[in-house]
Amino acid sequence: MPRLFLLPGMGGNTRMYGGINSGNGVELVKINYPANTDFATLRELAAIIIDANHITADDWIGGTSMGGMVAVEIADLLHLPRTYLLGSCCTPTAINRVLRGLAPYGSKLRWDWVQDSLRHLPRGVRSLTSDMVLSYAPIFYNKACLAIARWRGIERARLPGELFHMHGRWDVVIRPPAYPATLINAGHLLTIERPALVERFLHFGRL
């Protein structure tokens, strides 16, 4: 049974995939980002994740948002047979231009202040997404923002193996790709908005 490792978005953790389960001969391995923050690029982060999770050349990789960008780097490093992108991209030109321009400033943002503000929200107001932002040390977000700003990506034609891409039609963070992809009625957080459809896509590679 192939193992499909799934990475969350930058402000997410395995709870992003809470409604998605293994099946149809595919073992889903949901992973968080490691505590090791000694990285300056997404490719360096990819290498840390490979070592921390013992990912091999026989495995599959996938991810949401920034997790998909890191997945692309992992696929390239290990020449993996399959890569799954969920509301993500192969190159930075697909990222919203405003957000791409703000990424370097995110590397200087006091993320500890952001997290403290979220902690003081009333429990009834705090959401899954705000809770997930508290999962990592502030320095992780600083480094991740800078790594995204530096990221050049890998053209789809250069990716090893097969690429399976699902994207929300209403995504304003990363625009849908120009190449053929599975588009669904959703925004950026597909795994939270439409978990049943994402699960089917991961099991069968299509809807």
* Entry pTM: 0.95
Percent of the chain residues past pLDDT 70, beyond the cut: 99
Task: Record the tokens describing residue 94, joined without a space.
Answer: 């697909």
Tell me if 37 sits within 8 A of 31, measured CB to CB: no
pLDDT at 24: 85
pLDDT score of 85 more than 90: yes
What number is the average pLDDT over the span 96-116? 93
pLDDT at 1: 81
3-class secondary-structure state, position 180: coil
Distance between start and end Cα atoms, the chain: 21
Higher-confidence residue of 81 and 125: namely: 81
3-class secondary-structure state, position 144: helix
pLDDT at 125: 67
pLDDT at 68: 98
Query: What does the pLDDT look like over 13-35, one tens digit per residue?
Result: 999 999 999 988 999 999 999 98
**Which long-range CB contacts under 8 A does 191-196 form with residues at least 24 apart?**
191/16, 191/17, 191/19, 191/20, 191/64, 191/86, 192/16, 192/19, 192/128, 192/129, 193/168, 195/17, 195/18, 195/19, 195/20, 196/19
pLDDT at 120: 87
C-alpha 125 chain-centroid distance = 25
DSSP 52-116: HHT--TT-EEEEETHHHHHHHHHHHHHT-SEEEEES--SSGGGB-HHHHHHHHHHTTS-HHHHHH
Q: In Å, how far are 35, 76, 152 from 81, measured between CA atoms?
A: 28, 10, 22
